[in-house]
Amino acid sequence: MYDLIGDIHGHAGPLERLLTKLGYEADREGVWRHPSRQVIFLGDFIDRGPAQMGVISIVRPMVDNGAALAVMGNHEFNAIMYATKNPDRSGEYLRVHSDDNWKQHEAFVKAVGGSRDSDVTEKQQELIDWFKTLPVYLDLEGLRVVHACWHRPSFDALAVYLDDGQRFRENAWTDLGTKGTAAYEAAEVLLKGWEIPLPLGITFRDKDDKERDQIRTRWWERAQRGYRQLAIVPDDAIDRIPDSPIGADSLPGYDGDKLLFLGHYWLSGDPEPLTDHIACLDYSIAGENAADTTPGKLCAYRFDGEDQLIKDKFVWVSG
């Protein structure tokens, strides 16, 4: 059976403590293993934290040696785009090297020996090639895994770009990196979540103090509810979000009755299911917002084949 682990973001110490707590041990080759269980990582291994390579050196051997499965997070996706030349614009990359994008990715680029102005380093390219082997989603017996949103129409839109292991084909990257293509929009939904625009003129500041006019939503809800009830925003921003109802059909809902595991959403508080069937395991281990005085958690869920989530099966360590 599986132990699912949420967003790690360069925090290797908490990852070792969590694996130990779950009964995993490093073997003679240094691969963390459990005698009868496998980890499923929900993506977002990199960016932000102090031990970028430390996390990779735990996760990658586990995946490569069958001790773990993993899906791609938006940070691995962004890392690939950041390192891939835009074929239509000489000297540019599919993810532009803007100040904001550099700030988000700086810890990783420096950890692979690069700098703001350097070309992609050999070490960076090697890891990019590994990130490309991560599937976008997993649909297993009794459970499903995707980084941010389970959305059948987006899987369908990407079908021609995926191999039978749900990994992006090498010819996918240009379309995936080009705003306005169906591939770009679908990857945004699956890896970054279902966002909706706020009513005109309303904005809030996200965890990086960036002004936003779109909210991440509790996309699995179907009922007509207000922006505020459906928004996933930092606690100190919730008062900025209006109570007025969003339009009908604005959210896709969740179409399955298998358990679904997500990362991505920077939750806080005591880990618990979002619904009977949906759990987010991102409890903000990389929380570094000055307004956030509680340390984040690295969170796991012990899955044993149950068909409804059980609150007692969340396991975590603090940062």
As a whole number of angstroms, the distance between CA 177 and CA 222 comes to 30
Q: Which is nearer to Mn ion, 45 or 161 (CB)?
A: 45
| Residues 251/217, Cβ–Cβ less than 8 Å | yes
Closest distance of CB 267 from Mn ion, Å = 11
As a whole number of angstroms, the distance between CA 130 and CA 112 comes to 14
Closest distance of CB 282 from Mn ion, Å = 6
Q: Which stretch binds Mn ion (CB under 5 A): 39-47, 63-71, 157-165, 190-198?
A: 39-47
Q: Which is nearer to Mn ion, 7 or 76 (CB)?
A: 7
Residue 80 Cα distances to 42, 72, 218, 304, angstroms: 17, 11, 27, 34
Among 3, 44, 175, 221, binds Mn ion (CB under 5 A): 44
Closest distance of CB 128 from Mn ion, Å = 18
DSSP 8-state assignment for residue 293: -
Contact flag: residue 76 with Mn ion (CB under 5 A): no
Closest distance of CB 36 from Mn ion, Å = 29
Q: Which is nearer to Mn ion, 2 or 45 (CB)?
A: 45
Closest distance of CB 55 from Mn ion, Å = 12
The residues in 6-25 that bind Mn ion, with binding defined as CB under 5 A, are 7
In a 3-state reduction of DSSP, which class is residue 187?
A: helix
As a whole number of angstroms, the distance between CA 283 and CA 297 comes to 5
Q: Which is nearer to Mn ion, 7 or 221 (CB)?
A: 7
The residues in 211-240 that bind Mn ion, with binding defined as CB under 5 A, are none
Q: Which is nearer to Mn ion, 44 or 188 (CB)?
A: 44
Residue found under tokens 């293509």: 181
Q: Which residues contact 46 (CB under 8 A, 6 or more apart)?
A: 9, 10, 52, 55, 56, 75, 76, 79, 107, 108
**Site residues (CB under 5 A) for Mn ion?**
7, 44
